[in-house]
Structure 1
Amino acid sequence: MPRVRGLIRLAGVLTCLMIGLVTAPAAHAESGSSYTAYLDLPSVNGDGAGGGGLNPALPLDPDVLRDALDQARGAGIEPRHYATLLHQYWLTVATRNADIDLATWDPALGVAANTRTFTQVYVNYLRLNNAHPDYWWTGLAGLAGGSFASGFFDMGDVASIISVPGVHQLGNAVADLLRGTPSQLLDILPADIANLGTAGERLTAEDLAWYQTRLMIMQKHIFIDQVPMHEAYAADGLAGVEEMYRAGVLDENAILAWRDIASGTQDGLADAALRMTDREQNQIIADQWDATSHGRGTMGRVMTYVSTVAGKAAVPGVRAPGVFAPVTLTAGGMSLRAPLPDFNWADRDTRWNYITHDLLPRYLELCENPAVARAVLAVPFSTMLVNGRLVQRLPDVLADMTKEWQLTT
């Protein structure tokens, strides 16, 4: 009898082992299925041109993405294989914290559908900086964003606010001034000023709607690139962004910026702000600015130049582009000084020159005085937006153009 009971027990053990062998692969497949489908996915919307996240195969729920991410990590998968999953996770964390609906964030839907989101992006930059004072780049993005957003709304949507008339007024004022300018100077006049005077009056609402869409695409592209890494560092410290670096989401320049921030030194924070600004302007959106300035025939240049004329970041001490680099021409014993910028913000070299020789140095000076910086950065974005509107400044701008357009012979 004992022998029989022993055989029965042995048979039971063998049965359990057999069941385990049969069911173990199925159980592994079930647990793995929530992350294996997300491996090696390309980022097909990283440039911000489309709606939603980076790849339509990925969920938009950060909790679901986190579960899949933890499984991939637990399985020993190399970060490069879950790079887009990792990026999407931090992107959904970023939009959740920014109170932005990623599912409906689609620049192609137009201004009316995106107005709240457009503003909320800059509100969030200031929120990040106020919560993390060592995030110098987000503070700059928030302050410069006031000018950017003001120009966006100045360009007007179909319901709104100024703008084809405002641009026409600016173009007509330039055209009137050009008619009194000698031909020798007109021949060497920057093309953007000549275009504003000759083509500005032909600008249409369709041109402006196209331009606003281009601005919304670039705005989303910057957010997709920059804000997820800021949220990763806020949550997981340097380890969070180092994982993004190992995955290939961040490059050497970006990870050096985060190591600078982790150092906690003033020099490190300043270098990080420079590196992140360089990434934003010269890696993320440089090609998109090129495409925008060459779009819609000459109208791309007209609209980007108007944005340059109107642009002035809410950074104490920063000069408007036309004050930083006014047009000055000399020919045949005659000279012209015009209160207009001799560069277009869409052109990467001259844009970077303005940023590195005026905008960024003034901002870094502000950051060196934390008490003053906190007061400036605590101003509600809605106030910055109103203060930056060209619609309020247009009479003064037109008066200054007439007064400051100085021709000597």
Structure 2
Amino acid sequence: MTHLVTVGRSLRSLAQIACLCLCLVIGFGAMPAAQAAPTYAAYLDLPAVNGDGAGGGGLNPALPLDESELFAALEQARADGVAPRRYATLLHQYWLVVSTRNAGIDLATWDPARGVRANERTFNQVYVNYLRLTTSRPDFYWTGLAGLAGGSFASGFFDMSDVGVVLDVPGINQLGNAVADLLRNTPEELVRVLPDDIRLLATEGSRLSTEDVAWYQTRLMIMQKHIFTDLVPMHEAYVALGIRGIDEMYQAGVLDDDIHTAWQGIASGTRDGLIDALIRMTDREQNRVIADQWDVTAAGRAPIGRVLTYVSTVAGKAAVPGVLAPGVFAPTTVRAEVGGRTLTLRTPLPNFNWADRDPRWTYLIGDLVPRHVDLELNPALGPAVLGEPFWNKLARGRLVPRLPELIADLTSQWQIGE
């Protein structure tokens, strides 16, 4: 009997334990499951470590380059009410990926450090894309200027490539030698007061090495990618979402007050608004995006950086109708006392170097931008010039075919008088 009571008690105890376990299971089952971190969590507060275009790929290696992944993360962050400043680099990267896709550029392999051959197609495609944007959106004045001026710039880039392969081909060497010959027949008093860049062209132009040119080409490709990375994504955001896309980039801190005002001008559709946007975007490009990079380039491999940036200035002439070559807009004229007389030397060489901020802006705002505005406002000429294939502009602007004429002009217009 005692044994039966003991067994009964044991069974009741087991039943109680089983009931307790069941209650615990039910209780834990009713508790909410631990929430997995949202996909975008790893993409918040990231810096744009490659925003200056110096490296390959996108803005931050922690971000994917897949458009659908970026879009999904962005949509989730928006839906969860995340402050735009926290997903600024994610947002910028998304529009950068959209931009390169529309431009036919592989962002993953876009790396200036890989050199000219690896980047040749991308370098050209950037300018093809500027013209694509401006022909599809006539209110995008800045992309029109970037495409036309860029075509001229790319022409010089190709000539640099030729010189880099065979240093004795017509190019920088011939230009430097021509200036050296002119200086030898110029009174020393006048030579001494010429800008340093002209004297450097004469002394160093024939000494450039393939390494010098390759270095300069890389510098140009870095600046090109920097401009694209900064300015093209905002254009694609506006194409897709209108001013709402611009406002989000502004709230995220990707755009500042000045460029936000530029987009409001474009959205207004007025002539004054479009012109104001062109000036603000050109100012952003030249005076903020790449200003420091021009400084570094001009100072690099001294004195070679000055020589190569000055050669770009001598040879540069944007394919905008009516625009003056730098040497025509601001020719070098100097005066000095020679043998008791005041002599004047007039040259067709520019008295500024494109790498220098203030004179570069003076040229841009004094001639290039106004002539581009004239083009944009011309209902017949504008579409014809902007719609011309990039490859035609490229061939026409190359320096090597124009070199004999350039040297002939240099010789005939190098004049000494009282």
Q: TM-score range by the shorter chain?
A: over 0.9
CA–CA distance in structure 2, aligned partners of residues 161 and 96 of structure 1: 35
1:166 Cα deviation from its structure 2 partner: 1.2
1:161 Cα deviation from its structure 2 partner: 7.8
1:299 Cα deviation from its structure 2 partner: 0.5
1:206 maps to which of 206, 211, 217:
211
2:89 matched residue in structure 1 = 84
CA–CA distance in structure 2, aligned partners of residues 101 and 366 of structure 1: 32
1:407 equivalent in alignment to 2:413: no
1:389 matched residue in structure 2 = 398
1:55 matched residue in structure 2 = 60
1:277 equivalent in alignment to 2:267: no
1:329-362 deviations in whole A, cap 9, x for unaligned? 1112101111110100000100000000000000
CA–CA distance in structure 2, aligned partners of residues 132 and 379 of structure 1: 15
CA–CA distance in structure 2, aligned partners of residues 274 and 159 of structure 1: 35
1:113 matched residue in structure 2 = 118
1:15 Cα deviation from its structure 2 partner: 8.0
1:8 matched residue in structure 2 = none
1:16 Cα deviation from its structure 2 partner: 8.2
1:189 matched residue in structure 2 = 194
1:72 equivalent in alignment to 2:77: yes
Report if aligned partners of 2:162, 2:169 keep a CA contact under 8 Å in 1.
Answer: no
**Residues 236, 201 of structure 1: CA spacing in aligned structure 2 closer, same or farther, 3 A cutoff?**
same
1:372 Cα deviation from its structure 2 partner: 1.5
**Residues 368, 197 of structure 1: CA spacing in aligned structure 2 closer, same or farther, 3 A cutoff?**
same
1:18 Cα deviation from its structure 2 partner: 5.1
1:376 equivalent in alignment to 2:385: yes
1:21 equivalent in alignment to 2:26: no
1:98 equivalent in alignment to 2:103: yes
Report if aligned partners of 2:84, 2:248 keep a CA contact under 8 Å in 1.
Answer: yes
1:142 equivalent in alignment to 2:147: yes
CA–CA distance in structure 2, aligned partners of residues 243 and 18 of structure 1: 43
2:243 matched residue in structure 1 = 238
CA–CA distance in structure 2, aligned partners of residues 66 and 57 of structure 1: 15
CA–CA distance in structure 2, aligned partners of residues 230 and 359 of structure 1: 22
Report if aligned partners of 1:66, 1:89 keep a CA contact under 8 Å in 2.
Answer: yes
**Residues 365, 209 of structure 1: CA spacing in aligned structure 2 closer, same or farther, 3 A cutoff?**
same
**Residues 327, 158 of structure 1: CA spacing in aligned structure 2 closer, same or farther, 3 A cutoff?**
closer
Q: Which amino acid letter does the alignment assign opposite residue 375 of structure 2?
A: L
1:36 matched residue in structure 2 = 41
2:370 matched residue in structure 1 = 361
1:158 Cα deviation from its structure 2 partner: 7.9
Q: Which amino acid letter does the alignment assign opposite residue 22 of structure 1?
A: P
**Residues 159, 354 of structure 1: CA spacing in aligned structure 2 closer, same or farther, 3 A cutoff?**
closer
2:349 matched residue in structure 1 = 340
Q: Secondary structure at the match of 2:31?
A: helix
CA–CA distance in structure 2, aligned partners of residues 64 and 296 of structure 1: 42
1:359-404 deviations in whole A, cap 9, x for unaligned? 0000001111133211110010001011110011000001111111
1:157 Cα deviation from its structure 2 partner: 5.5
1:270 Cα deviation from its structure 2 partner: 0.2
CA–CA distance in structure 2, aligned partners of residues 169 and 45 of structure 1: 38
1:20 Cα deviation from its structure 2 partner: 5.6
2:158 matched residue in structure 1 = 153
Computed over aligned residues only, the root mean square deviation of the Cα atoms, in angstroms, reads 1.8
CA–CA distance in structure 2, aligned partners of residues 180 and 171 of structure 1: 15
**Residues 264, 165 of structure 1: CA spacing in aligned structure 2 closer, same or farther, 3 A cutoff?**
same
1:21 Cα deviation from its structure 2 partner: 3.0
Report if aligned partners of 2:204, 2:304 keep a CA contact under 8 Å in 1.
Answer: yes
1:131-189 deviations in whole A, cap 9, x for unaligned? 11100000000000011111111111588587865101000000000001111111110
1:191 Cα deviation from its structure 2 partner: 0.4
CA–CA distance in structure 2, aligned partners of residues 307 and 156 of structure 1: 13
Task: Choose 325-334 or 132-141, whichever is displaced more.
Answer: 325-334
CA–CA distance in structure 1, aligned partners of residues 228 and 41 of structure 2: 27
CA–CA distance in structure 2, aligned partners of residues 148 and 17 of structure 1: 72
Task: Choose 156-165 or 57-66, whichever is displaced more.
Answer: 156-165
1:251 maps to which of 252, 256, 262:
256
1:127 equivalent in alignment to 2:136: no
1:219-239 deviations in whole A, cap 9, x for unaligned? 000000000000000000001
Report if aligned partners of 1:162, 1:391 keep a CA contact under 8 Å in 2.
Answer: no
Q: Which amino acid letter does the alignment assign opposite residue 202 of structure 2?
A: G
Report if aligned partners of 1:54, 1:84 keep a CA contact under 8 Å in 2.
Answer: yes
1:19 Cα deviation from its structure 2 partner: 3.5
The within-5 A match list for 1:211-230 is 211-230=216-235
Percentage of identical aligned residues = 66
Q: Secondary structure at the match of 1:58?
A: coil
Q: Secondary structure at the match of 1:399?
A: helix
CA–CA distance in structure 1, aligned partners of residues 164 and 208 of structure 2: 17
1:206 Cα deviation from its structure 2 partner: 0.5
Q: Which amino acid letter does the alignment assign opposite residue 306 of structure 1?
A: V
Aligned residues: 393
1:329 maps to which of 334, 346, 362:
334
Q: Secondary structure at the match of 1:22?
A: coil
Q: Secondary structure at the match of 1:365?
A: helix
1:308-328 deviations in whole A, cap 9, x for unaligned? 000000000000001111111
Q: Secondary structure at the match of 2:130?
A: helix
CA–CA distance in structure 2, aligned partners of residues 159 and 297 of structure 1: 18
Structure 2 gap segments, 5+ residues each: 1-21
